[in-house]
Amino acid sequence: MSMTFAGQVALVTGGAAGIGRATALAFAAEGLKVVVADRDAAGGEATATLIRQAGGEALCVACDVTQERDVRQLHEQVIAAYGRLDYAFNNAGIEIEQGRLAEGSEAQFDAIMSVNVKGVWLCMKHQIPLLLAQGGGVIVNTASVAGLSAAPKMSIYAASKHAVIGLTKSAAIEYAKKGIRVNAVCPAVIDTDMFRRAYEADPRKAEFAAAMHPVGRIGKVEEIASAVLYLCSDGAAFTTGHSLTVDGGALAI
């Protein structure tokens, strides 16, 4: 795998925590300038500070990915600060305890779809013209194993992540001849705040989560970050429209 990232520019949404923070740090460790975008401005600034303390270059932009005005301003700030965008990791997402399908509420549906689907769509909508103008680039969207299979008691989340894969494949085909690759990363259960919130209330759920992965444990944020960097690298030059599971074998069962 050829990592030819030095001096290039990466954008990470949901970069204040979890998978986004780990990926922002991984990009920075490869010599990229990193724009950390999150609605949690303090958390995003903390990620940018970690990058700078390690000798890297980072900018934090407060952004709610559900608001087009925020997303437009985010991309204007990327260009104002660094003059270009090479890699975009559209990762901001939420999960809300839903129960079975008939127990979900309209508010839950709107909230999950707004961040997980509209947010990814808006980000790609504002990234693609920048990538076209400079002759190419790479987009990676965070879907989930719930974008490829059933997710009982998480049906709205599963629908949102299936939609992310639909957006990913469609954009990949539309821009394949324009030098833009678009892929999705599909984690199973990863040890982040999102996971802890879901399993905190009932420790038995944590044991169940570990057992659902054939490797016998949940995943680490760094294991998603390295998959994202691979998809961005020249080593993945022939890979587009792909949904890469990083799931300890969960979907192979």
CB atoms within 10 A of CB 206: 17
Taking the complex as a whole, how short is the minimal distance between the CB of residue 59 and ligand NAD, in angstroms?
A: 15
For tokens 């469609």, what's the residue?
170
Taking the complex as a whole, how short is the minimal distance between the CB of residue 178 and ligand NAD, in angstroms?
A: 26
Contact flag: residue 222 with ligand NAD (CB under 6 A): no
- Dump strand ranges (E) for 154-209: 180-187
Contact flag: residue 65 with ligand NAD (CB under 6 A): yes
Contact flag: residue 17 with ligand NAD (CB under 6 A): yes
CB atoms within 10 A of CB 113: 17
Contact flag: residue 245 with ligand NAD (CB under 6 A): no
What are the tokens at 69? 């005005």
Residue 194 or residue 212: which is nearer to ligand NAD going by CB? 194
Q: Which of 10, 28, 35, 38 binds ligand NAD (CB under 6 A)?
A: 38
Contact flag: residue 45 with ligand NAD (CB under 6 A): no
Contact flag: residue 94 with ligand NAD (CB under 6 A): yes
Contact segment (CB under 6 A) with ligand NAD among 23-31, 61-69, 126-134, 169-177 equals 61-69
Strands 243-246 and 33-38: unpaired
Taking the complex as a whole, how short is the minimal distance between the CB of residue 234 and ligand NAD, in angstroms?
A: 25
Residue-wise over 140-162: b if at least 16 C-beta within 10 A, else e?
A: bbbbbbbbbbebeebbbbbbbbb
Contact flag: residue 240 with ligand NAD (CB under 6 A): no
Contact flag: residue 16 with ligand NAD (CB under 6 A): yes
Longest pairwise C-alpha distance within the chain? 51
Percentages (nearest 5) of helix, strand, coil residues in the chain: 50, 15, 30
Site for ligand NAD in 157-216 (CB under 6 A): 187, 189-190, 192-195
User: Catalytic site residue 157?
Assistant: yes
Q: What is the DSSP string of 87-146?
A: EEEE---------SGGG--HHHHHHHHIIIIIHHHHHHHHHHHHHHHTT-EEEEEE--GG
Site for ligand NAD in 118-147 (CB under 6 A): 119, 142, 144
Task: Determine which one of 87, 157, 175, 230 is catalytic.
Answer: 157
Binding residues for ligand NAD (CB under 6 A): 13-14, 16-20, 38-40, 43, 63-66, 91-95, 115, 119, 142, 144, 187, 189-190, 192-195
